[in-house]
Chains A and B, each alone.
Chain A
Amino acid sequence: MTLLELRNVRKGRNGRCILWDASVSLDSDIHLIEGVNGVGKTTLLEVMCGLTDPTSGDVLLDGHSLCSRRIRRAHRIVMVPAAAKFYDGASVEFAIRLYLSLRGAVIPRELFESFDPFSLRDYARVPFGDLSLGWKKRLMLHMAFAAKSDVLILDEPTVGLDVEGIQCLTLLMTRRARSGVTVMTCHEPTALKGLPMRRYVLQGGVLGSVLRTRTDLTRE
């Protein structure tokens, strides 16, 4: 079982302490981090995936520090940022191939043959810059789920998605619920109704677990 652990993580920016003392252990399940705007959710996710180093404290993946051996650990972590960004000139197909190549994943000859949950096949030759926000978001989620990972970090994954897209996302997350750690932030968790997840609240830079766990949700 994969275990992502934060130990007394502190992170400052612009001389202001954003994360004060975030400590939490996340096992193979879906974890939702909630909090008001600007409280540091995205910063926390960036620290979790090793995109930025914590000012103090440590992030452990299966007991090993993420900060010390980043390249090796990076094989196991995938992050989808909130903003749908990629090179405007790259086509959908090239974007997927590039991302999978960079992750060292096996690339099938027919890219959309075995895995196309977001129906991207028809947009294969369309440049990223010409896609709408929703399709950009679909592409990024496709890349994230196509690259097999132990830890999946999603920052506001529902932004820009239509009902069908959210349904696909819910289905994919449900499938991988027990096979790896999924951490996400979402201001509209009701959009992902039916998805069992553990909820945490980030408040004043301190991450605290809310009493509503997966079992409680199932009972509800």
Chain B
Amino acid sequence: MPGFMVLRITAAMMMSYSRSSRDFFRSRQKTVLLFGFLLMPLVSIPEALLSPLLLLGEPRVGLWGRCLGLLSCTLLWSAWMASQRGFVPSTRDLHAVSVFMPTPMMAFCAVMRCCILSWPAFLLFASLQLLRDESGRAQGAQLALCVVVVVACIVSEWRETHVARYIVPPSTNASDASVLFRYALSSVASWADPRVPFMHGTMAVVLAGTSVVLSRLDSSVGMVAISLIGSLVALLQLRALLDLVSERTKDECPMLIACPRYHVVENYQTCIAVAALYTLNMAILAASHDRTAWFGAVAAAATLMTLQFLSFVLSRVVKFPRSVESGVLVMFGLIGIVVEYV
């Protein structure tokens, strides 16, 4: 890979962690379109193929290969998130086009939008395809991931017009807490944002990797390291989800963000997010195991639930800057690699 491109990816990663990056990318949409959607996927294919190797604990990959895989995972994630902040192709915003565009064409655009925005999930999916193992666990994870991506994409479009209307029916007898909770539920439905499948995809790969590695490792230290990576990924997921919801609320209802009791809604949103993430991840974990290994799946899911609860507490109490989160993730990732390799 050319050094120039490495510099660009690194720059994109650094900028994705600063608040001004959104404005920066907004002002350079054409560059982002070219860089984020055409060059990045092409350049990142080798790295994307390597990263599942790392996470799946493939013994043939050496130490440097694992480090490169982890680094590429982080870079890919960062560059992709950075590119997404600036450019969201949406036909809804193009009112002039929608006037004369036929309905089937609009539907096609909506599907294309989902496909474009969820390309990292499909990349991970394709990578997993190349790593079939005999136990069938990876295939189970693939299936679960595929289902998550498809459902999230469909719900994303559906939510825009219907979900809010059904979750938020008019009611004259609604209590204060009920109103706030239903609003939180409705706003968290914006998880169906096409960016989210990638987060779930990352988690699915981590879980699939964990399940494969657990079967090969006897060392409790290795398991601890992997659990730590899993918990940090869960933390990142949670933070990213809440950031998405907050960003969307600021765009859609700026009046609400400035309200004094908005933190109550945020607490509801976090609880709902934890519950949904737990359910989803447990489903993925169970799907990635053999039918005879249900006990192990439930035990692992219980561990995951504990970790996610800790993540929940951390995300509410400690507001890490993005760079710190990333640094901690990389550090624990490296520890995991070294422990596993040794």
Docked-complex contact A49 and B168, CB < 8 angstroms: no
Q: A85-B253, A107-B176, A127-B165 are in contact. Are A91 and B170 (CB under 8 A)?
A: yes
Q: B38 at interface (Cβ–Cβ under 8 A)? A: no
Chain B residues, CB < 8 A from A94: 168-171, 179
CB within 8 Å of A: which B235-283 residues: 251-265
Chain B residues, CB < 8 A from A143: 255
Docked-complex contact B180 and A101, CB < 8 angstroms: yes
Docked-complex contact A75 and B257, CB < 8 angstroms: no
Q: B174 at interface (Cβ–Cβ under 8 A)? A: yes
CB within 8 Å of A: which B157-186 residues: 160-172, 174, 176, 179-180, 183, 186
Chain A residues, CB < 8 A from B186: 87, 89-90
Q: A74 at interface (Cβ–Cβ under 8 A)? A: yes
**A-B pair number, CB within 8 angstroms:** 102
Docked-complex contact A124 and B254, CB < 8 angstroms: no
The number of chain B residues touching the other chain, given as a range, is 35 or more
Of the residues B164, B170, B171, contact of A88 by C-beta under 8 Å: B164
Q: A81 at interface (Cβ–Cβ under 8 A)? A: yes
A20-B260 Cα distance, complex, nearest whole Å:
29
Query: Quick one: closest B residue to A126, CB to CB?
Result: B170
A181-B136 Cα distance, complex, nearest whole Å:
67
The minimal Cβ–Cβ distance linking B259 to chain A, given in whole angstroms, is 4
Query: Quick one: closest B residue to A49, CB to CB?
Result: B258
Docked-complex contact B172 and A87, CB < 8 angstroms: no
Docked-complex contact B255 and A99, CB < 8 angstroms: yes
Q: B332 at interface (Cβ–Cβ under 8 A)? A: no
Docked-complex contact A98 and B260, CB < 8 angstroms: no
A90-B265 Cα distance, complex, nearest whole Å:
16
Q: B27 at interface (Cβ–Cβ under 8 A)? A: yes
Q: A89-B165, A109-B172 are in contact. Are A80 and B255 (CB under 8 A)?
A: yes
Chain A residues, CB < 8 A from B174: 97
Docked-complex contact A99 and B259, CB < 8 angstroms: yes
Of the residues A75, A90, A101, contact of B164 by C-beta under 8 Å: A90
Docked-complex contact B165 and A85, CB < 8 angstroms: no
The minimal Cβ–Cβ distance linking A19 to chain B, given in whole angstroms, is 16
The number of chain A residues touching the other chain, given as a range, is 35 or more
A194-B179 Cα distance, complex, nearest whole Å:
39
The minimal Cβ–Cβ distance linking A187 to chain B, given in whole angstroms, is 20
A91-B169 Cα distance, complex, nearest whole Å:
7
Chain A residues, CB < 8 A from B23: 13-14
Chain A residues, CB < 8 A from B257: 51
Query: Per-residue CB proximity of B171-207 to A under 8 Å, as 1/0?
Result: 1101010011001001100000000000000000000
Chain B residues, CB < 8 A from A51: 254, 257-258
Of the residues A72, A79, A87, contact of B258 by C-beta under 8 Å: A79
A75-B259 Cα distance, complex, nearest whole Å:
7
Chain B residues, CB < 8 A from A127: 165
Chain A residues, CB < 8 A from B263: 71
Query: Per-residue CB proximity of A66-87 to B under 8 Å, as 1/0?
Result: 0000011011011111010111
Query: Quick one: closest B residue to A124, CB to CB?
Result: B170
Chain A residues, CB < 8 A from B180: 98, 101-102
Q: Which of B166, B259, B263 has the most CB of A within 10 A?
A: B259
Of the residues A75, A77, A79, A85, contact of B252 by C-beta under 8 Å: A85
A90-B255 Cα distance, complex, nearest whole Å:
14
A140-B256 Cα distance, complex, nearest whole Å:
11
Docked-complex contact A93 and B259, CB < 8 angstroms: no
Query: Quick one: closest A residue to B264, CB to CB?
Result: A102
Give me the interface of B with A, judged by CB distance under 8 Å. Answer: 20, 23-24, 27, 160-172, 174, 176, 179-180, 183, 186-187, 251-265
Q: Please, could you name 12 A-B residue pairs with CB atoms under 8 Å apart, sorted by A?
A: A14-B27, A51-B257, A77-B258, A79-B255, A85-B254, A88-B165, A89-B161, A94-B168, A94-B179, A97-B174, A98-B183, A99-B259
Q: A14-B20, A75-B260, A97-B179 are in contact. List 12 more A-B contacts (CB 8 A).
A: A14-B23, A86-B255, A87-B164, A89-B164, A89-B166, A90-B186, A94-B168, A101-B261, A104-B260, A107-B176, A111-B172, A144-B255
